Amino acid sequence: MTRDHRRLRSERGRGRVLPLALVLAASAGLAGCGDDPPAVTPEVSAEELQDLRDDVSALEQRVEALESAPAPEPTAEPSATPTGTQPPAEVPPPFTDGEDVSVRGEVVGLIATTDIGTAFRLSTASGATVAVVSATPVQPLRLRDVVQVTGQATTVQPETFERDFGIAADVLLDDPAAFLDEQAGQVAIAADQVEPADDGPTG
């Protein structure tokens, strides 16, 4: 083989090596470009993680408490009062203080019947019930008796009771304090005369 032939073979060999190196380098570059970037792991401290667990636990406990709590009972609507069950309003006596009266009615309550005086309750035809105080005894006197009472309508005042009715309350009554407390400011009859009435209607 001549010297010219050996030089030609050597040049051909170098020509094949260079392109192969370029191909390998390009392949390596492409392979590097195709790799995914490494995943980024967030940094969470142990204290922050524990706080999060505590919050979740508290929320679960609250939900459990709400679910186990009894449902509130419905508020009962106020029931309407049946018609006719209200107690009738007390009818005031048809008298005014200082008025001379003569009224007939039924004895519906005995307050005091003594040898020195009498006190009782009288129901009139108007439906009013009025206390009657007599400084003289009225005997016999029984419940449901119908009597005619003549006297003066007088407002009961504890301070002036004896002067207004002609007899002391503590002399006439077994429990003067209770009577005066109940009747204070109410109109009663200071009776001059109490007589049995006929069988006609009360009035």
Among 51-60, 62-71, 124-133, name the one with the lowest average pLDDT: 62-71
Residue 70 pLDDT: 67
Residue 203 pLDDT: 52
| pLDDT bucket at 116, cuts 50 / 70 / 90 | very high
Mean pLDDT confidence for 62-78? 66
Phi, psi (degrees; rounded to nearest 5) at 41:
-90, 120
Count the residues in the chain. Answer: 203
Phi, psi (degrees; rounded to nearest 5) at 70:
-70, 145
| pLDDT bucket at 38, cuts 50 / 70 / 90 | low
Which one is predicted more confidently, 147 or 15? 147
Interval 87-113: pLDDT, tens: 445 677 788 999 999 999 999 999 999
Kindly state the tokens that stand for 79.
């029931």
Cβ atoms of residues 153 and 95 within 8 Å: yes
Q: Where are the beta strands (DSSP E) in 84-186?
A: 100-113, 118-124, 129-134, 146-155
Q: Which CATH number fits domain 100-196: 3.10.20.30, 1.20.1730.10, 3.30.70.1140, 2.40.50.140?
A: 2.40.50.140
**Has residue 42 got a pLDDT over 70?**
no
Mean pLDDT confidence for 133-156? 95
> What's the CA gap between 203 and 192, in Å, rounded?
18
**Has residue 67 got a pLDDT over 60?**
yes
Residue 51 pLDDT: 80
Among 76-80, 119-123, 177-181, name the one with the lowest average pLDDT: 76-80
User: Structure pTM?
Assistant: 0.55
Residue 21 pLDDT: 45
Q: How far lies 14's CA from each of 1, 19, 25, 121, 154, in Å? A: 19, 9, 17, 148, 150
